[in-house]
Every structure is written in C-alpha cells, then in structure tokens.
Amino acid sequence: MAQTGFAIIGCGMIANFHAEAVKHIRGTKIVACFDNRPESADRFAAANPGVKAYYDLDAMLADPNVQIVTICTPSGSHMEPAVKAAKAGKHVVVEKPMEITLKRCDAILDACAKNGVLLCPIFPSRFSPANIALKDAIDDGRFGRLTLGDTYVKWWRTQEYYDQGGWRGTWALDGGGAYMNQAIHNVDLLYWFMGDVAEVSAQTATLAHERIEVEDVGVACLKFKNGALGVMEATTSAWPGHLKKTEIHGTAGSVIVEQDDILSWQFEKPRAKDAVILEKFAKKVGGTGGASDPKAISYVGHMEQLKDFVKAIQTGKSPRVTGAEGRKSVEIILAIYQAAWTGKTVKLPLAKDPKRPA
C-alpha cells in the first residue's frame, strides 16, 4: 500500500514535533518541506532523511507524492499557505491557532470546503487519555448538571523567548499573547468539556515583559450556554511556570486534571472503574508540558491526532477535531480580548472580528 505523504510549510521549532509524530504513524512519511528561508528548509531536510526541500511553494504543492500539507508558519500567516494547499487539492493540517481572526479562519474553512479536502486544526490535548476519560464522564452524565468549569495556564516565558524570531508578541503575527499562543489548548478543552460559551468578561495586562504588544497575563469570566460559569486564566509571567490545570464541577461530580494527570476524580455515584482510572492517571506521567520551556512538550498528542486525521481521509469520515472547532477557540479568545479592551461583557457568537484600540 502506498504511503501517505506529508509536506511541511514552515520549518521552525514546532515542525520538528510534527516530523517526530509522523515517524511513529505506520504508512505515513514526510516527503517535502518549504520555508521562506531556504536555509531553514535545508536544515529540516538534512535532519529528516528522505525529505525534499523546496524553494518554490507552488512546485511543492504540485508534487504528486504530497497528500497532506502541514502549516507550521507563525500564527498570523497560516491562511495564505493553507488556502493554496487546499486549492492544490491537498488535505490541510494547521497548527494552533488556526488563524488569528475569524475572517482568516473562514477563508481557510471555505477553501477546504470548496476543494473537497479535509482540515485538521491541531489540538493534541483532546487526545490525552486523561482528558478523554473526563470527556466520557461528562457525556455519560456523571456530573449531573454542570455548574463550574475552570482552566488555568500559569506558565513562564523569558524575555529572550519574545525577542527571538521577531514575530512573537506581535498582534500581526502572534495574534495575541498568553491566551492566543499558550492557553488556546485549554480554551479548546474547556469549550469541549462545557459546551458553547454565551458571554465573557475579562481583564488583560502586560506586566512581566518588555517590547511586546500583547498580554502576558489575563483573567476571563465566562457564562456557558448551559448556564454554568467558568474562569480562564492565562499567563506567561508566573515564574517558574506551573502545570496547566482544568477543573470541572457539577451537582454530582468533580474532576481536576493537571497536565495529563488526574488529581481528583470524585462522583456521587461511584463506579468500579473509578479507582482504576484514578490509579492509572495519578502517576505523574504528564511531564512539564511546556510550562517554562516551549520545547519541553511531547510529540505523542500530535501523533494521535495526525493518526486520526489520516484515518479520516482514508475512510471518508470527519476527523475528531474539525475546522469549525478550530475556529471556535479563536472566537472565544477574540471575545476575551474584546471584553478586556472595552470593559464590557461580550456575547457570543461574535458578529465580526473585534477592533483593537489604537
């Protein structure tokens, strides 16, 4: 059986995690790469034998050995290559966030729909076994009525982190700070667990870093459409960096997940498997998850999501994380920004992209 060929656009740090993930998926391989800086493409190809470095994007997209294109460029430059890849008939994987505005997200969604290709926004936290167990418990009604959903991403990033590359910490290419870049995985998780957000109020600030345009700390209060309330905290100013945490509470149960470990798993009506779940996911196997070092993450979540995406292509079914869901997390974050900028409660869905104050 012919192998499924991946091509990567944007050969920076995160591309290496995609490369490692694909290596562990049977029947797939990375066959090509492209970067606006030829030296970066050459370096990536040299580190991954069998990968051809292209210096012309259209030529790479015309390569018949490429079936899936992965976009690993800076956040605010995802749209252009994603649309091009879709028009070339390639299935599209886009690193988080899918894009930094709703208009740009919609351009990707439209291009994929019109050209009959599948779209995969990267959210590997949904493939964590601990998070899957939590989601299953919610879907099974074990929490009774959901009442409170909170998520906390209290990380640390040095000034050097923002000074590198020239795009980090900018509205034009980063699209935001601690929420859009670091906490978006947990924004997605909380929406996945609790359902649609009805309204948001928020405060953001820049307190620990210089020469950045975006927030390095923020607190948002949410009301979900099911009536439950919640909090999303995000920061890159909490030294030395702490593991991300999600807490889900209801009238009949409470669960706390830290990184990929379950700290608390309690239900009014216990089941035999509860002790097994708690024992399995209370072994501190989650690692640091990038709390203080963006390179200190695992490729395993990416591997599981890309494996699911390849299966969706082969079977003609929808992937477990859709493009519409990738847009949703961006919309929630943009609502948080609008609430912080205006000092007003913002209702969702948003009618349009919020306008940033001058």
Residue 228: inside a domain: yes
166-170, 223-227, 234-238, 279-283: least confident range: 279-283
| pLDDT of the residue at 164 | 85
Range of the structural domain that residue 109 is part of: 4-121+300-321
- Which CATH number goes with the domain that contains 98? 3.40.50.720
Compute the mean pLDDT over every residue in the chain, rounded to the nearest whole number. 95
- Identify which has the larger pLDDT, 166 or 68: 68
Q: What confidence tens digit (pLDDT) does each residue in 285-310 have?
A: 555 566 766 666 789 999 999 999 99
- Which CATH number goes with the domain that contains 253? 3.30.360.10
| pLDDT of the residue at 284 | 65
Say yes or no: 277 and 180 in one domain: yes
| pLDDT of the residue at 285 | 56
What mean pLDDT is predicted for residues 61-87? 98
What pTM, to 2 d.p., does this model score? 0.95
pLDDT of 238 > 80? The answer is yes
The rounded percent of the chain whose pLDDT value lies above 90 is 92
Say yes or no: 23 and 132 in one domain: no
Say yes or no: 74 and 159 in one domain: no
Say yes or no: 99 and 136 in one domain: no
| pLDDT of the residue at 289 | 63
| pLDDT of the residue at 292 | 65
Residue 133: inside a domain: yes
Three-state SS string across the chain, please?
A: CCCEEEEEECCCHHHHHHHHHHHCCCCEEEEEEECCCHHHHHHHHHHCCCCEEECCHHHHHCCCCCCEEEECCCHHHCHHHHHHHHHCCCEEEECCCCCCCHHHHHHHHHHHHHCCCCEEECCHHHHCHHHHHHHHHHHCCCCCCEEEEEEEEECECCHHHHHCCCCCCCCCCCCCCHHHHHCHHHHHHHHHHHCCEEEEEEEEECCCCCCCCCCCEEEEEEEECCCCEEEEEEECECCCCCCCEEEEEECCEEEEEECCEEEEEEECCCCHHHHHHHHHCCCCCCCCCCCCCCCCCCCHHHHHHHHHHHHHHHHCCCCCCCHHHHHHHHHHHHHHHHHHHHCCCEECCCCCCCCCCC
Say yes or no: 93 and 197 in one domain: no
Residue 93: inside a domain: yes
Say yes or no: 136 and 274 in one domain: yes
Residue 347: inside a domain: no
| pLDDT of the residue at 282 | 82
What mean pLDDT is predicted for residues 226-250? 97
Residue 349: inside a domain: no
What mean pLDDT is predicted for residues 247-272? 96
Say yes or no: 270 and 137 in one domain: yes
Q: What confidence tens digit (pLDDT) does each residue in 190-207 have?
A: 999 999 999 999 999 999
Residue 167 pLDDT class (50, 70, 90 cuts): confident
Residue 357 pLDDT class (50, 70, 90 cuts): confident
Say yes or no: 271 and 195 in one domain: yes
What mean pLDDT is predicted for residues 70-93? 98
Say yes or no: 272 and 175 in one domain: yes
Q: What confidence tens digit (pLDDT) does each residue in 114-163 have?
A: 999 999 999 999 999 999 999 999 999 999 999 999 999 999 999 999 99
What mean pLDDT is predicted for residues 229-241? 98
Give the count of domains, the chain. 2
| pLDDT of the residue at 252 | 98
Say yes or no: 86 and 233 in one domain: no
Residue 262 pLDDT class (50, 70, 90 cuts): very high
| pLDDT of the residue at 345 | 98
Say yes or no: 200 and 237 in one domain: yes
Say yes or no: 191 and 82 in one domain: no
